[in-house]
Amino acid sequence: MLILGLGGSIHDFSACLLHNGKIVCAIEEERLSRSKQAFVDASTFRCKAARYCLDYAGVTEKEVDLIIGADNIESRYYARYVPGIRLMNHHLAHAASAFYPSPFTEAAVLVADGRGSYLDRENKIVETVTYYAAGGTEIREIRKVTGRESGDFRNVSNSAGLFYLAVTEEIGFGPMYDEKTLAVSAYGTARLVEPFHSLYSLDDEGGFTQTLGQMNELRSLIRAELGRSESGGELFRAKADAAYAVQVHLERILIHACRYLHKRTGSDNLCLAGSVFLNHAAVNRLLRETPFKRLYLPPAAGDAGAAAGSALYGHYVLGGHGREALLPATPYLGKPYPAEAMEEAARKAGDFLEEVKAEDVNEQAARLLSEGSLVAVFRGGAEFGPKALGNRSILADARFPGNISRLNSAKKREAFRPFGYILLEGDAGKAVPPQLHPISPGLNAEMAALLENYKRITGCSLLLNTSFNLDGEPMVETPAEAVRCFLQAELDVLLMGNKLYRRKRTEGEAKA
């Protein structure tokens, strides 16, 4: 059975192709349109992601048995599939994306985002948080928090996601840049934590309540605080204090919800989905400060992940298939490019790029990293979701103090934003940075080989890891994009497929 799942809302559109319960391919529209998070525009409506998946599998639309997506996707995105497309609840699609690929036979599932499906379109009632109990192929709703929309999509009551977004906007970041608020919160103090307590309430059933009036009070409070601050360091500290406060309260809201969910389900296993859980600091606290013992967060926890969730729901629930063998979860769901395409991209950049001969590219890349080089990696299928996990990564040795500033300069990103780390799974217990991505040979054999070589050279497998892109751009998808980004970022080494390349040195660099 072939199932095509579509994801997104008014942003983060995506597609996923499932064959007999196995994900063949999944990709976000932004990787193809080259527009970050693929906000609604004319290019988005071409639905390139679906065509990409079908072409990779070598099938046509007519061969697809079911096309399914969440019911809050902008309708122009799936217009070409009307009337055949089947639509389902947005939060249920999120829940399916978290539970079905998880290693659990049963689990509690929590979904939280800015807003999900309309439950009453006439009265503008939308879902904001949903609590589920899952087992086998069944995902059963326990409770749902709803809010009322007023004005535009950002004005919804009782939404933890939009509570956070309001602060993100007021301190000067764009509507899709909550990760910057999280980053700057590390520089804040508790000065505004107490005033935020009056701006929402928690109920006895794990819920969160915030009126639109309280949302307006929140915005006014932050504007007043920023208005009292001079430019420069004082203004930055005021923004950091607001970010710190909303981070503290988001974590409080989510811990409250999870404790209630555990009480209702009694499960030791927790699955999470929805854009709120892209906040890694909050997720870390949930495992430490709630009764749950194990946690699963899908790589594509935001709206793009609903493509996989809807396809998996179509297979298990609508198709009636059992979940006898748990699916191995992999984030590498893009199509791999042939060596010929990578070599052609390098050849076209021959005036700026030269090959580094190596008997073992993983060993040579590890050695160059240990000497301080910034190494971009383009191998295999791209990651599905916002995090680079070794196939579209830029790596660096954290022991070199200048590497962080070099990475910030290369990617044109703010100095206050942290980096993730990548290391061998067996070493994960020895270091716990905020964003830690363990790699095993079973998950990514090539990256594990590089890390093993690096550990042999340095005694440690931990590397700085960030996505292979420039700030404001999606991760690179094609070999040509990899070469362009590598050259524009002025990185040192490009590991593309099974070959290593470096920038040709200018005459002045050669003399130096």
pLDDT over 70 at 506, yes or no: no
Measured between alpha carbons, how far is residue 420 from residues 413, 463, 473 in Å?
14, 9, 18
pLDDT over 50 at 512, yes or no: no
Q: What is the pLDDT of residues 48-86, one digit of tens each?
A: 999 999 999 999 999 999 999 999 998 888 888 888 999
**How far is residue 494's CA from residue 484's CA, in Å, rounded to a whole number?**
11
- Return the CATH number at 456: 3.90.870.20
Burial of 502 (0-12, 13-18, 19+ CB in 10 A): middle
205 and 85 in a common domain: no
% of the chain at pLDDT higher than 70: 95
Average pLDDT, the chain: 93
Mean pLDDT of 216-242: 94
- Return the CATH number at 30: 3.30.420.40
Residue with token string 């794990």? 206
DSSP string for 411-478: HT--TT---EEEEEGGGGGG---SSEEEE-TTT-HHHHHHHHHHHHHHS---EEEEESS-TTSPPP-S
Residue 83 preceded by cis peptide, ω within 30: yes
Neighbouring C-beta atoms of residue 336, cutoff 10 Å: 14
Label the pairing between strands 375-378 and 392-396: antiparallel
195 and 159 in a common domain: yes
The dihedral through the CA atoms of 9, 10, 12, 16 has a sign that is: positive
Q: Is residue 106 part of a domain?
A: no
413 and 398 in a common domain: yes
Mean pLDDT of 16-41: 87
245 and 175 in a common domain: yes
Q: What is the pLDDT of residues 402-451, one digit of tens each?
A: 999 999 999 888 889 889 999 999 998 754 445 789 999 999 999 999 99
By mean pLDDT, which of 117-126, 375-384, 425-434, 466-475 is the weakest?
Answer: 425-434
**What is the SS3 assignment for 275?**
helix
Q: Is residue 132 part of a domain?
A: no
Identify whether the C-beta of residue 468 lies closer than 8 Å to the C-beta of residue 376.
yes
368 and 308 in a common domain: no
Q: Is residue 109 part of a domain?
A: no
**How far is residue 109's CA from residue 472's CA, in Å, rounded to a whole number?**
32
Binning pLDDT at 50, 70 and 90, where does residue 44 land?
low
Q: Is residue 126 part of a domain?
A: no
Identify whether the C-beta of residue 419 lies closer than 8 Å to the C-beta of residue 435.
yes
8-state DSSP, 5: E
319 and 371 in a common domain: no
Q: Is residue 68 part of a domain?
A: yes
% of the chain at pLDDT higher than 90: 84
Residue with token string 């100095």? 415
The three-point CA angle 378-61-84 to 5° equals: 125
pLDDT for res 510: 46
Q: What is the pLDDT of residues 98-127, one digit of tens each?
A: 999 999 999 999 999 999 999 999 999 999
**How far is residue 191's CA from residue 195's CA, in Å, rounded to a whole number?**
9
191 and 73 in a common domain: no
Neighbouring C-beta atoms of residue 216, cutoff 10 Å: 13
465 and 442 in a common domain: yes
348 and 496 in a common domain: yes
Domains held by the chain: number:
3
8-state DSSP, 309: H
450 and 377 in a common domain: yes
Q: Is residue 447 part of a domain?
A: yes
**How far is residue 19's CA from residue 4's CA, in Å, rounded to a whole number?**
9
73 and 36 in a common domain: yes
192 and 166 in a common domain: yes
DSSP string for 44-94: GGG-HHHHHHHHHHT--GGG-SEEEEETTS-GGGSGGGTTT-EEE-HHHHH
Measured between alpha carbons, how far is residue 119 from residues 154, 155, 309 in Å?
17, 16, 20
The dihedral through the CA atoms of 130, 133, 135, 139 has a sign that is: negative
Domain boundary among 243, 271, 296: 296
User: Domain containing 34: what range?
Assistant: 1-98+301-329
Burial 282-309 (b: 16+ CB within 10 A, else e): bbbbbeeebebeebbbbbbbbbbbbbbb
CA distance between the termini of the chain? 61
Q: Is residue 193 part of a domain?
A: yes
pLDDT over 70 at 135, yes or no: yes
Q: Is residue 124 part of a domain?
A: no
Query: Considering all CA atoms of the chain, what is the largest pairwise distance in Å, rounded to the nearest integer?
Result: 71
DSSP string for 189-227: -GGGHHHHGGG-EE-TTS-EE--HHHHHHHHHHHHHHHH
Binning pLDDT at 50, 70 and 90, where does residue 509 land?
low
**How far is residue 383's CA from residue 74's CA, in Å, rounded to a whole number?**
24
pLDDT for res 151: 82
Residue with token string 């967060």? 297
Dig out the tokens for 306 from the structure.
């609903």
pLDDT for res 43: 57
